[in-house]
Chain A
Amino acid sequence: MKTFPIGGVHPSDNKKWSKASAIEVMELPDVVNIPLSQHIGAPATAKVAKGDKVVVGQLLAEPTGFMSAAIHSPVSGTVTAVDMQPNGQGLRQMMITIKREGDEWDPSIDRSTKLVAECTLSQKEIVERIKAAGIVGMGGATFPTHVKLSIPEGKKAELLIINGVECEPYLTSDYRTMLERGELLVVGTRILMRAIGVEQAVIGVEANKPDAVKHLRQIIGTAGDIKVMMLKTQYPQGGEKQLIAAVMGREVPAPPALPIDVGAVVCNASTAVAVYEAVQKNKPLIERVVTVTGAEVKEPKNLLTRFGTPVSALIEKCGGLPEGDVRVLNGGPMMGRALCNLAMPIMKGCSGVTIISGEAAHRGVESACIKCAKCVEACPMGLEPYLLSKQARKKAWDAMEANDITSCIECGCCQYTCPANIPLLDYVRLGKQTVMGIIRARNAKK
């Protein structure tokens, strides 16, 4: 079975809690908060003001420049504020607050469940529609999809890879999407292939989801354009570069190189479904499947949730927070961000809410590095985390740059595996941010 060439760890995937529960539609919230920055790049520019009436699917904010994404209203109602509000990390962020009234949709959206498989639009039209729908990478990186699909001059896409790996432990939103919305996914994949002009696509799925593989293969049938590839269950199999290496056997060079440099375009499985809805049904990105899970969550679920719904509402729906010490995460346990504010609205990149409770919520006590080299062994990018973290503590930014810190994908394998409980990634990430800042400043000077 194929996998990436170096490193990786095997955390227990713990998908058992939520994998069996079918996608449920989450109740509409009474008030939604829509952050203007739900993607990588410039925050969108608000197009509505306090007092405006909006309907579902109406444009709330338009992209600010190319590297940005549009934002649409997930509910119908009245805008009550466009204001700075604390996000999940408590940091102030511009958000549009809407008080919901009913559920009135923009009439141009096709809400029927009929599968529309035919697509005759041109490449440009497809990308335009995707851009207009505000679609971003839904695996968590939230990279605007239209940017990804706009192949730069002189480069050529050879293969579209649909990322159905979902290597992040606990989460099952992509898995349920593949199982329940597989037909849409396959059509979405074909649209994406058309958009970048390739004949071949591969859907990569980890070996711990054999039923998803079987289901997708069944849908595709004898059509030869899309292959479903089962990949070894190993974290971070779903990392973009790791996935490309596993599927194509090609390694994306160090930044600033991009996947397109080796001829690959990677899109998340849920993104492909969103692309289908945007292109065939004219439905902008206003909702997504969110897994709510955790060892002590009473009823783990996969909820089809409108954006702007507060995390607290989802947790309530799943039986409430467990007692005692908790770490509530936006995302999965390896790369998710801890929340200090349960009012955080669900956003485009939020694939799950993971609740780690009790003793597991605490970190182990840090002890001396015994130079066991487990972190070097685990690093999927071939870096030396022990060294980088030491250099970050000493603020030796130049040395970190020389040791290829910018290649770090922050997957957390090093810290996961460290027997001495050293917060390796905490420091490595700090170093990466600082070095990236230094590089940006240097480039700006030139």
Chain B
Amino acid sequence: MSTLIYTIITLCVIGIVSALVLYFVAQKFKVEEDPRIDDVEKMLPGANCGGCGFPGCRGLATALVESDDISSLYCSVGGDSCMGSIAEYLGKVAPKKEPTVATVRCGGTCEKRPHTNTYIGATSCAIASSLYVGETGCAYGCLGYGDCVEACAFDAIHINPETGLAEVDADKCTACGACVKACPKGIIELRKKWPKNRAIYVSCVSRDKGAVTMKACKAGCIGCSKCLKVCEFGAITIENNLAYIDPTKCRLCRKCVGECPTGAIKMIGLAPLVKKEPAPKAEGGATTTAPAATPKPQSTESAPAAATKQVENKEA
């Protein structure tokens, strides 16, 4: 009996002593923190994707609470509504951004871009691209080992086994920019997100001369300037043998799409423009390259092409 009592007493004493120690330690090391940080963190999406530039949502929450001007802080996952409510809660001016979506600018499918060798190293775009040009003759195109897939916290980007290219699920993409950073070739760009995921962009980043590009890939931009000539909005520029459509200026008029001799200008969610003369559709043009998004007759909202801030494209 006495054993039992001793045991109970010993355990109780140990418990009380530990509790006291813990209490004093907790007091001693208490960190004063603005309680609003917790609230703001709860209002953020909680994806901890790092798209804002902070290590996690709490980092952004702390920055939002602590800085007076929050115009440079933005959570692309939550978007304007989330930032608006946080700004309201904190009594600050809400930062605004046009929604963007990750866009893979390479059309070099297995069929268009023949393989010249077989890579058997570790499955990583970063490793392959630091080693050599890749399995095709194109030094700029998508390698297809899925560094972007691994980087995506939202399951929004995948390698299509048929084309060997990365494809973005625009509905899932939160424009956090993780894939943009992960891509060693700098192929992925955050571009303005149009309603119904419509898009027109140059699906190529090859800076090779036209002839070289052509030899490596049938879907590459050869820098022929045809698109430049038809664009009425000055949205297209050509630099280093490569056309680029500025998403802030483009109005989705679709004129350039039909002009492109290689079909490098990709159109998504739009019907091809009906030309007056018989359609040059047969020439590997728009319809064949555009994925099977339902072509909708146009009802293009006049696009406010103003405030879209272009995220800088990481150079390889």
Contacts and interface: CB of A to CB of B under 8 A. Distances in A.
Query: Is the A/B pair a real complex?
Result: yes
Interface of A: 86, 89-92, 337-338, 340, 362-363, 423, 426-427, 429-430, 433
Interface string B94-129: 000000000000000000000011001110101100
Contacts of A90: 116, 132-134, 137, 139
A433 B130 contact: yes
Main secondary structure of the interface of A (DSSP, over half): mixed
Contact of A427 (B120, B127, B133): B127
Given A89-B132, A89-B133, A90-B132, A430 B139 contact: no
B117 A92 contact: no
B131 interface: yes
Main secondary structure of the interface of B (DSSP, over half): loop
27 contacts: A89-B131, A90-B116, A90-B132, A90-B133, A90-B134, A90-B137, A90-B139, A91-B139, A92-B139, A92-B208, A338-B131, A338-B132, A340-B116, A340-B132, A340-B133, A362-B120, A363-B120, A363-B121, A423-B122, A426-B121, A426-B122, A426-B124, A427-B124, A429-B127, A430-B126, A430-B127, A430-B130
Interface in B116-164: 116-117, 120-122, 124, 126-127, 130-134, 137, 139
A90 B132 CA distance: 6
Interface size class of B (residues with CB under 8 A): 10 to 19
A86 B133 contact: yes
Nearest to A92: B139
A219 B24 CA distance: 81
Contacts of B133: 86, 89-91, 340
Given A426-B127, A430-B124, 18 more contacts: A86-B133, A89-B133, A90-B132, A90-B137, A90-B139, A91-B132, A91-B139, A92-B208, A338-B131, A338-B132, A340-B133, A426-B121, A426-B122, A426-B124, A427-B127, A429-B127, A429-B130, A433-B130
A362 B121 CA distance: 10
A68 B131 CA distance: 22
A433 B126 CA distance: 10
Contact of B122 (A92, A427, A433): A427
Interface of B: 116-117, 120-122, 124, 126-127, 130-134, 137, 139, 208
B49 to A, nearest CB: 14
Of B122, B127, B130, B139, most A-chain CB atoms within 10 Å: B122
B274 to A, nearest CB: 41
A337 B139 CA distance: 17
